A and B are shown apart, each in its own frame.
Chain A
Amino acid sequence: MERTRSIDNVLQARDISKTFVTDRETTHVVEKFDIEVKKNEFVVLFGPGQCGKTTILKILAGLEKPSTGEILLNNQKVTEPGPARGYVFQSLAIFPWLTVMGNVEYGLKVRGVSKAERRERAQHYINLVGLEGFENHYPVKISGGMKQRVGIARAYCNEPDVLLMDEPFGALDAQTRYLMQDEITRIWEKEKRTVIFVTNNIEEAVYLADRIVLLKNCPTSIDNEYIIDLPRPRSNVDPKFLTIRQEITEVMDKTL
């Protein structure tokens, strides 16, 4: 598939590979992974179970170092994590000793934004994810779906160029998961951001993505790409939706 190479690219990964070496064995987790992500694009990295999707996302974030290759953010090479990329963790990684407000404003606080300004901006994102009224609650007192909203608001509040989301809804029950998929679409339409979203759920991938990047299993590399140009909000019983879903599932079954 032809891939566009343009100045609009916010994030580029070139020839990424990752090898874990232990005393006993060498594991190739990622091999020759290339991607270019355009501004405000919603890209879903989709692939089966244990295939290094999280590793790719952590490399894109700077949380893991690639064995080869480089990451360009706004055409600048980056090697360390930083606030221009936001990360929503599968494990939530909410700070339990901070309230909802404390979590959401954390990034602004460590970067020296004045209290009045960061309160205002944090409040905006708390409202955006629908958590108004819970500002002073500690994470232990709120549900899993609400904690994930805190994680999303916290990442958004830093106003990063790229949002990296690692199976953020993996731990939620099916009902909450559908709800959060609608929410993330609504938030993304309201405040456009570049998103790279990892999932192993095909329905979620087709529901959310502008473009699905189908990954091959260990070592992980790109198998194929699909542009999903269905209008939002999407319906998971729409015949076009089901056709795309079917097509990708068949390709995936062959590669497995």
Chain B
Amino acid sequence: MNKTFWESKWAKPISAFISIFGFLLIWHIGVNSSSLGELMPGPIDVLSRFVGSFSVNIGQYTILGHALWSLSRVAIAYSVASFAGVICGLAMGRYPKFEAAFRPYFEIIRPIPPIAWIPMAILWFGLGELTKYFLIFLAAFSNVTLNAYTGAISVDPELIGAARMLGASDNQIFRTITIPASVPHIFAGMQISLSSSWATVVAAEMVRSSEGIGWMIVSGMEINNMQQILAGIVAIGLIGYGLATFMRFLERKLLVWNERGA
């Protein structure tokens, strides 16, 4: 059977490639043939700066070093936040009194952007790593908690009935039904939280830091180096995309039983 181009598996990657190449071309022509060039470096400048920064230090580290600094901050605070969030969320699902007492805090804290806490965080935790951990923690904690809670209370009652008919006690039902049934919700919360953690670490580093991708951008601003700023922005985008892809990969591996994962 003859498949048209749009049905072939190459349609998507080729379309994406043409689109990106076209965008870069328009950018290049625009910068070189108009006064836009005064506001913005061309794509070749930015990409060569981006590639070059893998071997040439910006400040104390190469771009890879800065990325690792930012990622390690996220890794530490996000792990703690996810762990605590899962426990809190499931506990709220299990114990209605606990939920009644604490859920309002999470609902109020969730819509506050973590960067709004920066002044208070600096006052409380100083200018070091703790402030950054605190902000990333805020970015992840309430989302993971509320998702885990939603997962725990939205278990299909027929599944709980089935377990009860088979002889499971309340504790066994929580352990063998509620927790596994909540995992897809927990995972969704962790995916959103990882994105916001990544966005928050950049913001936190822009306020006060001497390394990290956020610092790269601020230092580019201070020395008036637009190539460095845009190279940093490209790195943020690529790493953010990489993290989201990694989470989807993990979901497919860990949730083979789920429709979405299958």
Contacts and interface: CB of A to CB of B under 8 A. Distances in A.
Interface of A: 61, 63, 81-83, 85-87, 89, 91, 93, 95-98, 106-107, 110-111, 138-141, 154-155, 158
Contacts of B158: 89, 91, 93
Nearest to A81: B164
A93 B258 contact: no
Q: Which 3 A-B pairs have the closest CB atoms?
A: A83-B167, A107-B166, A93-B162
Interface in B176-198: 176-177, 180-181, 183
A81 B157 CA distance: 14
Contacts of A63: 161, 164-165
Given A93-B156, A93-B159, A140 B262 contact: yes
Contacts of A91: 156, 158
Nearest to A107: B166
A223 B162 CA distance: 30
A96 B259 CA distance: 9
Nearest to B175: A110
A87 B165 contact: yes
30 contacts: A63-B164, A81-B161, A81-B165, A82-B165, A82-B167, A83-B166, A86-B165, A86-B166, A87-B161, A91-B156, A91-B158, A93-B156, A93-B158, A95-B163, A95-B180, A96-B257, A97-B181, A97-B257, A97-B258, A106-B163, A107-B167, A110-B163, A110-B169, A111-B167, A138-B257, A138-B262, A140-B258, A154-B166, A155-B165, A158-B166
B183 to A, nearest CB: 7
Task: State the majority secondary structure of interface residues on B.
Answer: helix
Interface string B235-262: 0000000000000000000001111001
B160 to A, nearest CB: 9
A149 B57 CA distance: 64
Contacts of A154: 162, 166
B168 interface: yes
A204 to B, nearest CB: 22
B162 A140 contact: no
Contacts, number: 69
B166 A97 contact: no
A176 B166 CA distance: 26
B172 interface: yes
Interface string B135-166: 00000000000000000000010110111111
B76 to A, nearest CB: 30
Contacts of A87: 161-162, 165
Contacts of B177: 95
A110 B173 CA distance: 9
Nearest to A160: B165
Nearest to B156: A93
B258 A96 contact: yes
Contact of B259 (A83, A95, A140): A140
Contacts of B167: 82-83, 107, 110-111, 158
A141 B177 CA distance: 20
A73 to B, nearest CB: 13
Contacts of A107: 166-167
A95 B158 CA distance: 10
B167 to A, nearest CB: 3
B212 to A, nearest CB: 39
A203 B67 CA distance: 69
Contact of A97 (B163, B169, B172, B183): B183
Nearest to B183: A97
